[in-house]
């Protein structure tokens, strides 16, 4: 037998190798998953820039009315003295740009373009955000149920997804929007059109996120923590909403961020076709529609709302890509 190795008092009281001299405690303590994701996201400067633009656009949309009041901006004020009747174009160059009208005026009535861009921002973001929320709620619930229970429940929900995906969404949206223009459920005018757009866009686009959530759920239901919860007697609703859904937040958040710009483009397309937001309410798609017949006389009339849509869609896409990389490092 070998003799036991004796340790001296100095060796017995020695610090573990992991504790380095001169290193603060905050530098070696563990980080949560959210902190790690935030660190990854901060390193992506492009995604950070997209996030800043999204925040500024959201603030502009939320406070559009106070901004118009503070800076005395009226999106529906006619300024016929700024229009050249012979050319049917704003007086001066660059669409009538001046200190009073930084983005120029429209060639029809001389309305301030900056005021109309600000006034149209809340419509676009409200419709896109509401439609995204509706589709995410429906798709998440049905996707989790289909992926967890499987069997005939999965078959029924999957065929329902296929049916909705087969709908010609654009033609269906045009038909519904045109059919309820006079009033529906006690609503009329602008509130009716906004509700119809949110319903049409959100209700018929939920299968996309439903398929993503279903696939993620089918993977997660085989994990040990789900089996442990089931073995301890947890029932289906508890497992769905307390075990599975918290682990699906990341893909749902990423998908929602990426689908918002798609819904913005869809709302702009419907307004462009004349079945979206009706005048006098400003909307970016409606401004593009009006510019079709006037862009030869005033190209900036089409450029300004097009640039607003482009910047908004690009910012949301950059933010979504950054969130995807931060929340799922395997994507790199």
pLDDT digits (tens, 9 = 90+) for 2-22: 455 454 444 445 555 445 555
Q: Roughly what angle, to the nearest 10 degrees, separates helices 151-165 and 206-220?
A: 150
Q: What does the DSSP 8-state code read for residue 82?
A: G
pLDDT at 48: 92
When pLDDT is cut at 50, 70 and 90, the band that residue 158 belongs to is very high
| Summary mean pLDDT of the chain | 81
What is the mean predicted confidence (pLDDT) over 118-138? Answer: 91
**What is the predicted pLDDT for the residue at 84?**
78
Name the pTM for this structure: 0.80
Q: How many CB atoms lie within 10 A of CB 166?
A: 9
- pLDDT at site 193: 84
Tokens at residue 226, please? 């789900």
The DSSP secondary-structure symbol of 15 reads P
Q: Does residue 27 carry a pLDDT above 80? A: no
Using N-to-C axis directions, what is the helix angle for 300-327 and 45-62, rounded to 10°? Answer: 120
Long-range contacts of 3-6 (CB under 8 A, 24+ apart): none
Omega cis (within 30) before 280: yes
119 has a pLDDT exceeding 80: yes
pLDDT digits (tens, 9 = 90+) for 84-96: 777 777 887 777 7
| pLDDT class of 159 with cuts at 50, 70, 90 | very high
Q: Please give the Cα distance from 55 to 257 (Å, whole number).
A: 13
pLDDT tens across 235-249, in order?
A: 878 888 888 888 888
**pLDDT level of residue 81 (50, 70, 90 thresholds):** confident
Identify the pLDDT of residue 181. Answer: 67
Beta-strand relationship, 83-84 and 89-90: antiparallel
Q: How confident is the model at residue 102 (pLDDT cuts 50, 70, 90)?
A: confident
Contact 147, 183 (CB under 8 A): no
27: how many CB neighbours lie within 10 A of its CB?
8
Angle at 296 between CA 294 and CA 300, to 5 degrees: 75
Q: From residue 236, how far is each of 4, 156, 240, 246 by CA, in Å?
A: 56, 18, 6, 15
pLDDT band with cut points at 50, 70 and 90 for residue 265: confident
Q: What is the model's pLDDT at position 289? A: 81
Q: Is 226 helix (H, G, I), strand (E, B) or coil?
A: helix
pLDDT at residue 234 in the model: 76
Q: How confident is the model at residue 49 (pLDDT cuts 50, 70, 90)?
A: very high
Give residue 178's pLDDT.
72
Give CA–CA dist 41/122, Å, rounded. 27
- Helices (runs of H) and strands (runs of E) counted in the chain: 14, 2
The dihedrals phi and psi of 112, each to the nearest 5 degrees, come to: -65, 125
**Residue 30: which pLDDT band, with cuts at 50, 70 and 90?**
low
């Amino acid at each position: 037998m070998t003799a036991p190795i004796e340790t001296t008092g100095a060796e017995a009281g020695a610090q573990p190798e992991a504790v380095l001299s001169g290193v603060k405690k905050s530098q070696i303590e563990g980080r949560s998953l959210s902190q790690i994701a935030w660190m990854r996201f901060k390193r992506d400067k492009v995604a950070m820039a997209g996030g800043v633009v999204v925040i500024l656009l959201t603030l502009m949309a939320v406070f559009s009315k106070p901004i118009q009041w503070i800076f005395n901006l009226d999106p529906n004020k006619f300024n016929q003295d700024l229009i050249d009747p012979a050319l049917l174009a704003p007086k001066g160059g660059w669409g009538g740009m001046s200190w009073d009208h930084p983005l120029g005026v429209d060639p029809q009535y001389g309305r301030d373009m900056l005021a109309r861009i600000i006034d149209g921002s809340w419509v676009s973001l409200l419709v896109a955000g509401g439609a995204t929320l509706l589709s995410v709620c429906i798709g998440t619930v049905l996707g989790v149920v289909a992926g967890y229970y499987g069997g005939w429940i999965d078959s029924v929900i999957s065929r329902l997804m296929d049916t909705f995906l087969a709908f010609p969404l654009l033609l269906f949206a045009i038909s519904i929007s045109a059919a309820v223009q006079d009033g529906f459920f006690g609503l009329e005018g602008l509130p009716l059109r906004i509700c119809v757009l949110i319903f049409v866009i959100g209700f018929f686009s939920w299968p996309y996120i439903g398929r993503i959530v279903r696939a993620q759920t089918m993977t997660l239901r085989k994990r040990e923590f789900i089996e442990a919860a089931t073995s301890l007697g947890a029932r289906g609703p508890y497992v769905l909403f307390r075990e599975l859904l918290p682990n699906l937040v990341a893909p749902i958040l990423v998908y929602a961020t990426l689908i918002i710009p798609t819904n913005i483009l869809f709302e702009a397309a419907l307004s462009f076709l004349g079945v979206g937001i009706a005048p006098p309410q400003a909307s970016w798609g409606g401004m593009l529609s009006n510019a079709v017949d006037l862009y030869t006389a005033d190209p900036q009339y089409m450029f300004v709302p097009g640039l607003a849509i482009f910047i908004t869609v690009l910012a949301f896409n950059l933010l979504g890509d950054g969130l995807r990389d931060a929340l799922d490092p395997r994507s790199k």
